[in-house]
Amino acid sequence: MKPQELHKLELLLPQDKIAKVIKKLGRQISEDYEDKDPILIGVLKGCVVFMADLVRSISVPIEMEFISASSYANGRTPEEKVDMSGGPEISIKGRHVLIVEGVVDSGRTVQTIIGQLRQKEPASIEIVTLLDKSKCRLVDIDIKYRGFDVGDDFVIGYGLDEAQKYRNLPFIGKVANE
């Protein structure tokens, strides 16, 4: 990030706080999925930093798959359309699936993914998201595991982008309105 852009950013969640919450999610998931061999399906690209940490705090055997989805074409403008590509390369029939998201906003992305995965007849589908913007929800979805509820602010860092930038920030920041 260029120094002149720093004033736009407000620290929302520091690294240590995020780490603690991810460890807790990992413990919960490990308990709930004992002997279930879950498949974690990460939603690219926002999931990557969170998922890398999450899987390392899960103590039961898991598999990792990825799916690409984007509902924000660029920057901060929400788009109604959800574009999807990729998806699990293995059969998920009869398997326990856990969708891994960086942030759930309107819920459309996750809803679209669930709709597609359901056709493949998994035993169960749950969602784990680092951030939940529950105030912004436009569709009815059940989130079983959430790290933080962050209100309706646009946030960046820890995998989350603004126009593909800032995913590498090790903390989560709020973009201040100019």
CA distance 165 to 148: 22
Residue located via tokens 């509902």: 71
Comparison of 53 and 105: residue with beta carbon closer to ligand IMP = 105
CA distance 171 to 108: 25
Query: What secondary structure letter does DSSP report for 108?
Result: H
The only residue of 58, 100, 104, 143 in contact with ligand IMP, by rule CB under 6 A:
104
Are 68 and 119 in contact by the 8 Å Cβ rule? The answer is no
Residues β-bridged to residue 13: 172
Residues β-bridged to residue 77: none
Comparison of 28 and 111: residue with beta carbon closer to ligand IMP = 111
CA distance 174 to 146: 18
Residues β-bridged to residue 129: 101, 146
132 binds, among ligand IMP, Mg ion, none (CB under 5 to 8 A by kind): none
Are 21 and 172 in contact by the 8 Å Cβ rule? The answer is no
Shortest distance (Å) from residue 35 CB to ligand IMP: 31
Q: Which one of 5-13, 70-78, 98-106, 139-147 is the stretch in contact with Mg ion (CB under 5 A)?
A: 70-78
Shortest distance (Å) from residue 34 CB to ligand IMP: 29
The only residue of 72, 84, 120, 153 in contact with Mg ion, by rule CB under 5 A:
72
Say whether residue 129 binds ligand IMP (CB under 6 A). no
- Give the binding-site size for Mg ion (rule: CB under 5 A): 2
- Does the annotation count 105 as an active-site position? yes
Comparison of 35 and 140: residue with beta carbon closer to ligand IMP = 140
- Give the binding-site size for ligand IMP (rule: CB under 6 A): 19
Marked catalytic residue, from 32, 35, 105, 161 = 105
Give one DSSP letter per residue of 63-77, joined into a string: EEEEEEEES-SSTT-
CA distance 28 to 155: 25
Task: Write out the residues near Mg ion by the rule CB under 5 A.
Answer: 72, 161
Interface positions with ligand IMP (CB under 6 A): 43, 46, 71-72, 101-109, 133, 154-156, 160-161
Known catalytic residues?
105
